[in-house]
Amino acid sequence: MKSGTNWLSGLLSSHRDIGCYGEYHWQTLITELQFKFQTLPIYQDLNHRAEARELFENMVKECLIKKDSSSKVLGERTPHTLAPFVLTNVPYISIIRDGRDVLVSRAFHLHNYPEVHRLFERIPEMAEENQHFLNDPWYFQKNPEKLLSHEVLVQESVNWWKSHLEQDRATCAQHPEVPVKFVHYEALHQDVERYRRELFEFLDVDPSRCSDIQGHLKPGFSQERPRDFLRKGQVGDWRNYFTDDTKTWFKEIGGQELIHQGYEDSLDW
């Protein structure tokens, strides 16, 4: 989430043979189904369990085919960890972004959609700042130190980002047979043509059968839109909003993950 999933989906769909659509959130269903597999007596018959799983996967595939019956490769873009796998024997693509930029992007997202989170109830000062932002979309550009001034917001967001990446590493280690392609948002931003081509090759489609990268498919936006879902798309935007306190809170939880991902060489930033 807030790592470029919409952009990546659009880049994939720029190929004539690929259709990548929406957020179906099938993980919620498969998690419940897997729980039932383990707990209900009827599913202790392994053959029946396998049949039920196959029926579920066929439903997912049929849903995508109903959306687009002409593309050779179909997919969707729910921002989620790799596990639980909704489909077996299919390739997965995971986009990774600097957690500091994810934090900034998530903070703006929450202020644009305050109804989706209880942070505004738990932190009255955040609710006050939200009112300022709703009245003036440039409030945080004028007061950058306010955006990430709440420790709970920072800690919960960073822990969520770090846990997501850790879970995906563990999943890949446990399931080496599953083809997974990781792409860093920043690398895609720097050389979108190269990495889009690599993604097409990963999906085994002819890289030449695609449209030009133009319009909303270009990296970032020429002008920031603080009230839009797709706000800025800039690499390193965190530098505009991080205070010394924000840095301290982030490093406590996500500092080592930044190093692991190659964003920093040490905690001295």
CATH of 5-21+68-260, one of 3.40.1350, 3.40.50, 1.10.287, 3.30.420: 3.40.50
Q: Is the pLDDT of residue 229 over 90?
A: no
- pLDDT tops 80 at residue 41: yes
Q: Report residue 183 as tokens.
A: 């792409």
Cβ neighbours, 10 Å, residue 111: 24
Q: Residue 265 to residues 68, 102, 237, 257: CA-CA distances in angstroms? A: 45, 19, 19, 11
Instruction: Compute the distance between CA of residue 200 and CA of residue 241 in angstroms, rounded to an integer.
Output: 36
The percent of the chain in helix, strand and coil, each rounded to the nearest 5, is 55, 5, 35
Tell me the pLDDT band of 223, cut-offs 50, 70 and 90.
confident
Q: What is the mean pLDDT of residues 240-248?
A: 98
For residue range 93-134, list pLDDT tens digits in order: 999 999 999 999 999 999 999 988 889 999 999 999 999 999
Convert the pLDDT of each residue in 187-218 to its tens digit. 999 999 999 999 999 999 999 999 999 888 88
CA 142/CA 144 separation, integer angstroms: 6
pLDDT confidence tier of residue 182, bands split at 50, 70 and 90: very high
Q: Is the pTM of this model over 0.85?
A: yes
155's tokens: 């800690």
The residues, ordered by sequence, that sit 6+ positions from 230 with a Cβ below 8 Å of its Cβ are 6, 7, 216, 221
Task: Say what the pLDDT of residue 234 is.
Answer: 87
Comparing CA positions, the residue from 104, 83, 85 lying closest to residue 163 is 83
Going by pLDDT thresholds of 50, 70 and 90, the confidence category of residue 230 is low
Q: DSSP state, 239?
A: G
Neighbour tally for 164: CB within 10 Å: 20
Residue 163 buriedness (CB in 10 A; 0-12 / 13-18 / 19+): middle
pLDDT of residue 236: 94
